[in-house]
Chain A
Amino acid sequence: MRRLCIAVAILSCAAASGFAVEPPPPPQGPPPYETSCFTCHSELQMAPTENAREDIHFEHGLSCHDCHGGNPLAGADGDMDAAHDPAHRFRGRPSRQQVPQFCAACHADATYMKKFNPTARVDQLSEYETSQHGRRHAAGDMKTAVCTDCHGVHGIRANKDPRSPVYPMRVADTCARCHNDQGLMGQYGLTTGQVADYRRSVHAAALYDDGDTFAPTCNDCHGSHGAVPPGVNSVANVCGTCHGREGSLFRETAMGRTATLDTAIQCTICHSNHAVLPPTDDMLGVHDGATCSGCHQEGDKGYQTADRMKRTIVELTNGLGEARELLERAERAGVEVGPDKFELQKAQDALIESKVLIHSFDLERFLQVAEEGVAVAKAGIAAGHGAFEEIRFRRAGLGFSLIVIVAVIGALLLKIRAIERGGDAR
């Protein structure tokens, strides 16, 4: 009781100021559905109490008054003022301006959050304040996103609940609510269509078609609360969090180390930012429509590198395909080719590694691996031809045995004739 009075006193001051972030008292009072708030508001059908049962706060024993204040024990008889008691630090409905601080009252307090989840992060507000959404919000723009726009208001579900608007499979749709609205985005000079681009990408295919929730969606590259497009020089780092080898190779290149917007070449230049399509061999090279020839002209070093890389990749791919086909045919014809197929795996490894090494833009390094692969493929082709030698040997054997058989038949016929003409049996 004494603690409650002290708390009420402190919080009354806080309520008066309105914005201060103070630790609220630990959940006290009746279970969620038995509060006067709940009773009245569900009767009056005000505030979406129907979602309350799925709300993660309710699941943890918190109720209306833990966020909104007020007296949960009074007012069930209809006395609104008793329930909406400022002495119980009643805050009512926070304005859009107040929302971040409102949520952060608990979510930025490590001591408080630890009671519920020892590993919970408490930096969402500070991250938000670095983001475009947060900065504009601080500047007074109320059209920009606040916590409730993405997480919901009541009926907030855990992030790992598939029905939550921030579940990986639903994040893109949640962002699209604003970022696909041309009227809204136009006011900021932003384009729409990122979500449509993303939906075409290989990341979206992995997420939606394969159901791989580790595949990246908007927040994996842009951040969850500190949403900001990766800076020009950090794109390789961002992509490199998953595409480790390509990222580290690229960072070592000259292209990876340029500083300005005009000269910075990063992953997205070749692979696009949102519409990341499966990379094909067609992207490499100097022909029309190749990615490299978009910037490189005939005569410059990049052009020659791209050209040579492309030729080698094609040589390796074709050689590998030819070797495989020869060996398959030989195997079907009955020749043992297990060891040769095994050796061919090295060429397959080399092909994959070469494609990664393209990102080093270092022709020598690339050729070291790729040309070894080409040699293995050539050996495989030779082995395939050797297998057909075996088949030719068999046919030679057949020819020989046919000669013998025809000779026997001839001898038999002669013998028959001799017996039947000559008249004696031996």
Chain B
Amino acid sequence: MSEFLTQYAFLIVPIVKIVILVLIVLTVDAYLTWLERKVIAHIQARWGPYRVGPHGLLQPLADGVKFILKEDPLPANVDKATYFIAPFITLMLALTSLAVIPFGPQHFTIFGYETHVGIADVNISLLVLFAITALGVYGVALAGWASNNKYSLLGGLRSSAQMISYELALTLSVVGVLLIACDFSLRSIIDHQENGNLGLLGWNLFGFSKDGIGFTQIIGFFCFFLAAIAETNRIPFDLPEAESELVAGYHTEYASMKFAMFFIAEYTSMITVSCLATILFFGGWLSPFPASWTFTHYLPSLLLIPFGVWLIFDGIRYETIFGRILLPGVGAVLTLLGVALALFPVVNEAIQGPFWFLGKVFAFLFFYIWMRGTLPRFRYDQLMSFGWKLLLPVAIANVVLTSAYILWRMH
């Protein structure tokens, strides 16, 4: 048995990792919708989902059941093959892009097979991500075209025009980072931002480094994040689905699970973009504190324990009995987890990388939601002129500035 495992570990380990990651990502997607509804509700002084489960925590589950049970009508005169393929393309590409993201610094060996946190460690991972993003537009464009609906077609058209316009700025905005790191691999881009006691100043966003060849990528980050929001079709760039003008744009004619696939794909690409922004500009799993400040390693416990205790005391006063059991239960688990992290140095050390990585990713996801609750939608011509006349020149200027600075420092 163990011989078999050793021989086929190169096949089994990645498959197991893929299954685990997909399950995690789908759960996170589901709870991201909950978070989004909650945060926007609170921005608008409402409660948001509150009825299904304590604090609406079971709402994603109810939504999932609803998606599965809904009727899935086929509109008249659709282009059947394309209509069915489109949501699959969208979801497949969105999930595939997560494969090259490294989630933590650790390497470990299972049955003699050396592996790491994350699925594939390719040396052109950034290019792979861009390649997948480049193909991602087809799902939306084809869905809009195949639906045999004028609104959908407009959504699909807008989507392809928007993608063509913003992909340039997106790709050019990371050239600065590539010039500094001299590598396409996301893992080495993060490693390059590791500058010991410089802490967060060593991140590409600020661009200080030991060897002096670093240049602040604030402009690059600005271009990257704006272009990435446009690529993920989120507010204020959600022109392809603009519900007030196009009903729901490209997915007007989709119902049930097919609609859910578009939805999951959108949230998954939000996660991917947040991961990418974290890796390229915010040092990935690196702590923002200088390496000598080892006491900051207790920060995860310091966050988990008070939150857990608060959840216990707040939960026992909840209206429903189920809530009075569930909330303190979750609180107790979190508190214990925090205590365990503080007591076992090995676990504490292992959790540092993922903690900072996921923390930064969460901050970006929150920012996405925050923007949705704050900003209105661009007008179509504004969107185009913003992409071509502002974002693209600024991204090019960033490339020129960064390369000039690096050339000057090298001589």
Do A and B come together as binding partners? no
Interface residues of B (CB under 8 A from A): none
